[in-house]
Every structure is written in structure tokens, then in C-alpha cells.
Amino acid sequence: MLVERLTLSGQFLALSRFEPQLFNQPIEFVLANGVTVNISSPGIIQFTPASTSLKDIVISCGVHGNETAPIEICDDLVSQILRLELTPQHRLLVIFANLPSMAIEKRFVEENLNRLFSGAHSSTDGEHNFERQRAQELEQVVADFFTQGSETSERLHYDLHTAIRASKNDKFAVYPFLHGKQHSLEQLAFLYACGVNTFLLSESPTTTFSYYSSRQFGAHAFTVELGKVQRFGENDMSKFVAVRETLTALIANKELKLPEFSPEKCFIYRVNQVINKHQADFKLHFDSDTPNFTDFEKGHLLASETGAQYRCEFDNEAIVFPNENVAIGQRALLTVVATKI
């Protein structure tokens, strides 16, 4: 019955959200095209093709529940696979991360899920809430997925988001800190084909989902920001054609042919300052609707709180992800400066 409902309607996300008890037990079944489907819990679905797979691909969305466009894109991909309209040629794990926060149309329920990976879910300075349990579960699911794949497979993880505010560079990707490893130009070319023309090279470890996959499993992993937050059904899906088509091609083709990466068409930044909020009176000194990647001159006051002032250290230092409403101890602002790769 459940398998029929899934394969006829393709509505894995809707069933996960509104009838999660259906997935209390793990489920495995094989589609008519030979693809094996494994559902380990609500919002987590894995596809394994019958033939040998060259890549192990993780696509996650909804780490922030109100970031609807990527959720709609992934829902559509999963639905097409279940209805046999799209045949994955590689092992594929699709994760709808924070289902309860989708229900309340909020970024998260108790705590920012994307600050809880690499073990941060088990730090003692917080309650054992839903997001902490889910971070731990997602770590395990991703670990199982990568370690059960072939050792020669290329490991990929695209964690799809949308930003709270508008951005001067509509689509951008955060490249996790690689601890000295080379950045992959092939991956930048892939993201460019998805419509991403701006890359932020992180220079320190973080507790994000993409850093976890990159650091623990050597995956090519990225936090990909695909535009601005809108409500479910209110996204202009024409803005996402490139990312949908490119992800579909990645999933459905044994080999993906992409044009070579041309850095001159892109904006590449490195993170210069990570500014955390330490006091309740933390305040940003620019308008609340200032787009991401707006830049300021050296010495410009960006933010302040009791005992500290945060200023640009370089000319054309730009702001990303400003949010003065974060919990104390959390990141309230990143600054970036142009760099070369």
C-alpha cells in the first residue's frame, strides 16, 4: 500500500511531513527500473541504481525549514524518480532535513540546525532538542551512505539553502575550509552551471552540514545559496531552471560534460572576519535590508556591542549573512574580501 502510494504520487515529502508515522520503520523496495529505494526515516530517502555507480551524491535541503525553493526542487526530483520519470545512474541520498520547522514556516524550531554538525549536537551547553537529535541522525545517515559506497566513488554533497535577505550576487556557494587541500575547479564549473557565480572560500572549521561531509568523508561539499527566502508556492521557479537542469543531469547521466571553469566570470571571496555576538546589545550599523555582498571602505563601523566595535579591515570588504537576532555566542556576521583561486 505505502509503496503504491509513493510510486503513484511520488509524494515522499508530503507523506514525510503529514504522515511521518508511515516511516517509523525503515522501508526498502525496488522500482520497475531496478533502482532500489531505502527510506530510513521521514525526510530521508536513498536511491541505488542496479548498475555500478561512479558517484555517491547527497543533496540536502530544508536544513532551514523556511527556505522553500530548494525543498520544492528536491521534492520534484524525488517525485520524478519515484514515478520513473527520472532514473538515477548514481547512488543518491536526498535529505529533507528539518520537517518540523517547515510546518511552522520558520528557520528552525529550537536551534539553528546548521550549527550542530561535527559533534556540536552533543555539546553540553544546550538542551537535547529536536534539532540536536536530527543533526546526530543526519551525521549517521551521511556516514553510512558514504562508507557503504565504493571506495573509488566520487563523493558529493550539495546542501541547498536560500538566504534571509536579498543578495547582490543572487546565487552563491560557501566552500568549506579544506585544511590545505586544493579547491576543485571542476566543482566550481558544476556550480557555475547551476547559476552560481559567487564563491566564498571558508578559512576555518565550522559546524555546518557541508563542512561535516567535506572534513569527515573527503566529499566535495558546498552550502549553496539559491536566492531569497519565499513561502511555499511563492517561488518564481523560472529562477531555478539552471540548478534543476544541472542537478537532473548530474543524477541521470553516467558522465557530466561541463564547460571548463572560467574564474573571470565569477566573484571569488575569502572569509575575512567571523563576527560572533557576545552581548545582548549587539547591533549592526547598516540598514536591515542591506543586500549580501554590499561592500564598505576600510575602517567603516559594521557592528558594535558593549566592549567591542567591528570595522572593515580592508577596502571593499563586504558583508554576508548578517543577523543581529542570533543567540549569544552565535555568528552574527561574516565579512569577505575578494581573492583568487
Annotated catalytic residues are: 225
**Residue 72 CA to its chain's centroid (Å):** 14
Considering beta carbons, is residue 44 or 113 the nearer one to Zn ion?
A: 113
Considering beta carbons, is residue 229 or 312 the nearer one to Zn ion?
A: 229
Strand partners, 295: 318
Cell of 35: 533502482
The terminus-to-terminus CA distance of the chain in angstroms comes to: 52
Considering beta carbons, is residue 40 or 208 the nearer one to Zn ion?
A: 208
Q: Judged by CB under 5 A, does residue 161 bind Zn ion?
A: yes
Least distance in angstroms from the C-beta of 59 to Zn ion? 14
Considering beta carbons, is residue 64 or 91 the nearer one to Zn ion?
A: 64
155 CB-contact burial (10 Å; exposed 0-12 / middle 13-18 / buried 19+) = buried
Region near Zn ion per CB under 5 A, out of 39-47, 143-151, 154-162, 211-219: 154-162
CB crowding 99-136: b at 16 or more within 10 Å, else e? bbbbeeeebbbebbbbbbbbebbeeeeeeeebbbebbb
Considering beta carbons, is residue 53 or 208 the nearer one to Zn ion?
A: 208
Least distance in angstroms from the C-beta of 337 to Zn ion? 23
What residues from 179 to 198 belong to the interface with Zn ion (CB under 5 A)? Answer: none
Region near Zn ion per CB under 5 A, out of 12-20, 32-40, 155-163, 197-205: 155-163
Pick from 15, 43, 62, 64: which binds Zn ion (CB under 5 A)? 64
Cell of 146: 558514504
Spatial contact of 251 and 89, defined as CB atoms under 8 Å apart? yes
CA neighbor of 130 nearest in space, from 113, 107, 105: 113
Least distance in angstroms from the C-beta of 67 to Zn ion? 5
CA neighbor of 116 nearest in space, from 157, 73, 70, 63: 63
Least distance in angstroms from the C-beta of 161 to Zn ion? 3
Considering beta carbons, is residue 161 or 171 the nearer one to Zn ion?
A: 161
Q: Judged by CB under 5 A, does residue 132 bind Zn ion?
A: no
What is the bridge-based pairing of β-strands 36-41 and 154-163? unpaired
The Cα–Cα gap between 55 and 60 comes to 16
Region near Zn ion per CB under 5 A, out of 66-74, 131-139, 235-243, 331-339: 66-74
Least distance in angstroms from the C-beta of 64 to Zn ion? 4
Region near Zn ion per CB under 5 A, out of 24-32, 98-106, 159-167, 177-185: 159-167
What is the bridge-based pairing of β-strands 55-61 and 91-96? parallel
Q: Judged by CB under 5 A, does residue 115 bind Zn ion?
A: no
Tell me the number of residues near Zn ion by CB under 5 A.
3
CB-nearest residue to Zn ion: 161
85 CB-contact burial (10 Å; exposed 0-12 / middle 13-18 / buried 19+) = exposed
Least distance in angstroms from the C-beta of 120 to Zn ion? 16
What is the bridge-based pairing of β-strands 172-175 and 55-61? unpaired
Considering beta carbons, is residue 161 or 228 the nearer one to Zn ion?
A: 161
The Cα–Cα gap between 71 and 95 comes to 9
Region near Zn ion per CB under 5 A, out of 57-65, 137-145, 152-160, 306-314: 57-65
Least distance in angstroms from the C-beta of 304 to Zn ion? 26
Sheet holding 301-305: strands in order across?
A: 283-284, 301-305, 308-311
List contacts with Zn ion (CB under 5 A). 64, 67, 161
